[in-house]
Every structure is written in C-alpha cells, then in structure tokens.
Amino acid sequence: MTATGTVLGYAMKGLHRLPRGLRRAVLLRAAGGDLPAVPDYVRMLEIAGDLPETGPTDAELFDRFPELAAVTVADVPAGVPARLYRGPVAPVAGLVWVHGGAFVSGSLRMAEAHFTALALAARGIAVLSVDYRKALRGVRYPAGADDVLTGWTWAVLNADRFGVPAEKLHLGGASAGASLAAGVAKRLRDGAGQPPASLLLIYPSLHAELPPWEPERLAAIRRRGVVFFSPEWVAAMSRHYCDDPDDPYAFPAGGDLTGLPRTLVVNCEHDTLRSSGEAFAGLLATAGVPVTTHLAPNAVHGCLGEPFTVAATETIDVMRVNIIAP
C-alpha cells in the first residue's frame, strides 16, 4: 500500500463527483508527462474505481457526427459486460472490440470503447464492445484475457445478432486491449475456438518490455508534454499484470506467430508504445502473416479516446477499410 497512491486515489475519487466539463478541465491541466509509479497508479485506481470519464456525451457526439444517432446500442448477455452496436443498414462485417487502459482501467463508457463502436457501426460494421476484469485487488492474467475469449466465443455462437456469418467476425483492440485481442487470437489459432477473419491492433503494447528506442526519439516525445509511457513504466506494469514475461499469450510478441489472421497495426507518431507495434508488425511479416501498417501522423497514444480529432476519425476509416478488405 503506497501513501502517494492513496492520496491520488482519493483525489481522483473526488473528481468523479465534479460535473463532466469541470473534470475535463482539471484533467486536461494535469495531463501529460510521466505517469505515477505503477504501485501508486494501481493503488489510485483501486481507491477511485477508475479514471473519471471525460469524453464527450452522446449529445455532443451526435451534434458533431449526426450519423451516429442512428446506431442502436444494446447490452447483451455475452458472459462478460458487453454492448452490441448496429447501424441502420445491413452490416457487411462484425467486430469484437476491446478497449485499453494498461490492463488496470477502462470501461464500456469510455470514448475509446463507445465512440469507436458507434463510428464503425454507422459505417456498416456491427460491433460487440466487451469489458474485462482489470489487474486490480489481486486479479492477474489470465482473468482479463479469459473474459475477452468469453466475449469472442459468444459472438461466434450468436453471429446472427450481428447480422453477418461468423466467418465475417473480426477481433481488435486498442493499447492493452490490442494485447488482449492478439493473445486471444493466438489461443484461437491453437485450438480455443474459431479464429477471427482479421486482427486489428490500434496503438498496441505487445511486449513485456518495450523494444529499444533511440534516446533522442524518447526525449522528443517527452518534450511534447503528452502522456509518457517510459520503458521502465511499461516493464513494471507488465510485471504487475503477469509475472511471466515469456508467456506468449500474455505478451503476444513472444512465441510463434505463424498462422495468425491478416493483421492491421496502427501506430501513433508521438507514442512510445509505437516501438512495440512496429516491432510486432515486422515479426508478423517474417512469420508470413499478411500485415498492414499505418502510422497516424502527429497523433498521440489513445487518439480514439479523442473523437473530435483528425487522428480519431482517420483511424476509424483505416479500420473500416481493413475490415472490409477481401
């Protein structure tokens, strides 16, 4: 138990009680730079429950993107908390989508989950957004990964709810959610169930430790004042999540990658996790897996959580193009 984490936790808990606009203003001023040490960060979340939601409301989203208002959203009994998003026209494919949060935070309400699902559903991709157990209060790997596998299995068995055949279901996630999706894809390849038609990994973290970065590139990202995932912080969070850095399902960059489905990897230009996505794409290509990479220019980590940015809308478009690719 850490004193710093306790103080941060009660401060964050207090932010939950503020109006959303004020929450945004406070967190915007505090955003950027190094994150608290992992024990403090974990303790903060155990007290606060989660990071305060600061994304746009539905009214704000619909005002900017009127087409999103035509999407229907329904909670479904998928064995884990999950929401199914369907657009007004017959879908061409389906996606099981997993939000990020460093394995310790995030929910179906966050923009990275909700906006992404709304935007893709409005573009003809039915989406099942799934939640999972976080690595808090003694919960560790493989609990969260098992939950994602449960959600995927429900989707395959209930593909009619998507309006597409099970063979047209894809699997993807953002950040830690991308790691969970990739690990589950490996388990499916190895006999755990029907593999996805493709895999979508958006600003992913796939290694137990970040592949090396040149010091000047790290320093350039730090100078931008964005959230900075240092190599040391990533390694510490990995050890918190799973104590075996060689587990090929917990950290999907390890082990055999042959036989995985075609994969999209989207990296953000100003994101230290980019070294993981770039290295993983290279490993996939070496393993003979069809892989498409996209670098979101001038983007920072978590851009799908900022729906009113160019990076968010362009990433949604890249995802749709790769889902419907033959």
For residue 28, the model assigns a pLDDT of 61
Mark whether 188 and 44 lie in a shared domain. no
Residues 36 and 176 in one domain: no
Are residues 268 and 227 both part of a single domain? yes
174 plus 60 within the same structural domain: yes
Residues 6+ positions from 228 with CB-CB distance below 8 Å: 32, 33, 34, 35, 221, 222, 272
Task: Pick the last residue of a domain from 16, 32, 54.
Answer: 54
Last residue of a domain, one of 21, 38, 54: 54
Q: Which domain does 14 fall in, by range?
A: 1-54
| Pairwise CA distance, residues 196 & 260, whole Å | 9
Q: Name residue, tokens 């908390």.
A: 81
116 and 10 within one domain = no
Residue matched to tokens 């203003």: 25
Question: Tokens 């024990």 correspond to what residue?
Answer: 39
**Total tally of structural domains belonging to the chain:** 2
- Shared domain for 45 and 74, answered yes or no, is no
Q: Rounded CA gap, 206 and 278, in Å?
A: 10
Task: Mention every residue, 6+ apart, whose C-beta is less than 8 A from residue 300.
Answer: 224, 226, 227, 268, 270, 271, 311
What is the DSSP-derived secondary structure letter of residue 38? H
Same-domain status, 148 and 103: yes
Residue numbers of the chain with a pLDDT score lower than 70: 1, 22-32
Q: Residue 127's pLDDT is what?
A: 98
pLDDT of residue 304: 97
Count of CB atoms situated within 10 Å of the CB of 19: 8
CATH at 128 = 3.40.50.1820
Residues 199-213 as b or e (16 or more Cβ within 10 Å = b): bbbbbbbbbbbbbeb
Q: Which residues contact 211 (CB under 8 A, 6 or more apart)?
A: 275, 276, 278, 279
Residues 211 and 242 in one domain: yes
- Determine how many CB atoms are found less than 10 A away from the CB of residue 87: 22
Residues 28 and 150 in one domain: no
Specify whether 14 is located in the same domain as 95: no
Instruction: Tell me the C-alpha distance between 200 and 187, whole Å.
Output: 16
Question: Looking at residue 245, what is its pLDDT?
Answer: 97
One domain for residues 153 and 295: yes
Indicate the pTM of the whole model: 0.95
Q: Are residues 103 and 184 in the same domain?
A: yes
Q: What is the DSSP string of 73-122?
A: EEE--SSSSEEEEE-SS--SEEEEEE--STTT---TTSHHHHHHHHHHHH
Residues 108 and 111: their CA atoms lie apart, in Å, by: 8
What sign has the CA pseudo-torsion 80, 315, 104, 7? negative
Kindly state the DSSP code that residue 212 receives in the 8-state scheme. P
Q: Give the residue from 304, 318, 314 showing the smallest Cα distance to 56.
A: 304
User: So what's the pLDDT on residue 109?
Assistant: 96
